[in-house]
Amino acid sequence: MTGSTDTSAQAPEIGPPLWLLAELTYRCPLQCPYCSNPLDYAQNEQELSTEQWVSVLRQGREMGAAQLGFSGGEPLVRQDLPDLIAEARQLGYYSNLITSGLGLNEHKVRAFRDAGLDHIQVSFQASDPELNNAVAGSRKAFEQKLAMARAVKEAGYPMVLNFVIHRHNIHQMTDIIDLCERLGADYVELATCQYYGWAFKNREGLMPSKAQLVKAEAEVNQRRQQLADAGSAMKLIFVTPDYYEERPKACMNGWGSLFLTVAPDGTALPCHSARLLPIEFPNVREQSLQSIWYDSPGFNHYRGDSWMPEPCRSCDEKGKDFGGCRCQAYLLTGNADNADPVCSKSPSHDRILAARRAADHATAGLEDLSYRNPANSRLFFRS
């Protein structure tokens, strides 16, 4: 890390974590080639017990966390999920379940509602069964997702749908929005793939071309206006991939600023991708959340701006983007201290430009991607 005696460097003011993400498990029935779980997810240690998760939730709430996400993997594989939802309600969290819908049924939806769950987000892989099921690695995934989206709506929840967008489904924007409208969706997140975990491994086969992206965004904007003109309340959120920006995002609103993730094995992280970094992060089995958040070297590693090398150190925008994403800097340059290469001021920005050029000429098909469950992919892509 670059040392400094620069008096302009700002010491961080550390507030409490407001958003707690409980990654209950890395287990999942799906095979998605853009999964954000670690590539070696199967090698992780034993998952936290129900009692240990309850302790995490209580500690987080005592510190001031108000928003709670249950994610994975697929959180539905945890048999104690209803108990954790009930605990979250008792503690006063606003809780959100992020699910593929596989393993969900009408009874569970009602049970989760009765236990106090506030919000359910269901993910899709495409607007048609063939593509959706091929990416998911399940022949029944699409119909299950449709049924569960309807069940969520019927239970009185807002219908929140998520589609990860990549070069193999980006041509479906109009069809995806039509599907969401038929289902009565309230919020639709069209999240263009961000390249971490399996998505980084498959970047060349997933990244859309500039032309595809421009066309897709125009289609979303057109449909957004049509929905507004028709008086529809459905909200469309289109997330542009970092690789097509000239300035980096303020990743997680700043390192160790608002978000605290606890991985299935108890590792505490400033974001769900951070365990790929060459940094030792603490574990809730060994330290309190209070100590982890305020005192651990892992969480203090990139707080403030004293760690920043040039060009970030002298940049008048460093208070907006905090140097960008540390995981992206590490994946693309091999040094997490470096400026996020997405930034046009970064000495490594040419790596982003090269990725854009490669996307303009990519020819890889779905069968060429690496899936997190290769046995499932063989059902759809036989050699």
Q: How far apart are CA 250 and CA 110, in angstroms?
A: 37
Q: Is 327 known to sit in a ligand binding site?
A: no
Phi, psi angles (nearest 5°) of residue 361:
-125, 10
Phi, psi angles (nearest 5°) of residue 33:
-80, 0
* 277 neighbors 40 (Cβ within 8 angstroms): no
Give the single-character DSSP code of 258: S
Phi, psi angles (nearest 5°) of residue 78:
-80, 120
Following CA atoms 134, 139, 144, 146 in sequence, which dihedral angle do they give, to the nearest 10 degrees? 50
Nearest to 271 by CA among 2, 11, 17: 17
Vertex 322 angle, CA 336 and 256, to 5°: 80
Handedness of CA 135, 95, 86, 116 (dihedral sign): negative
In DSSP terms, 267 is beta-bridged to: 283
Q: How far apart are CA 194 and CA 179, in angstroms?
A: 24
Both tokens of 337, joined, read 């201290």
Q: Is 271 known to sit in a ligand binding site?
A: no
Give the single-character DSSP code of 169: T
The strand ranges marked E within the chain are 19-23, 67-71, 94-99, 119-124, 160-165, 187-192, 235-239, 259-262, 268-269
Q: Is 325 known to sit in a ligand binding site?
A: no
Vertex 12 angle, CA 289 and 94, to 5°: 45
Give the single-character DSSP code of 267: B
Residues 6+ apart with CB under 8 A from 104: 76, 144, 148, 151
Residue numbers belonging to the annotated binding site for [4Fe-4S] cluster? 28, 32, 35
Which residues fall in the annotated binding site? 28, 32, 35
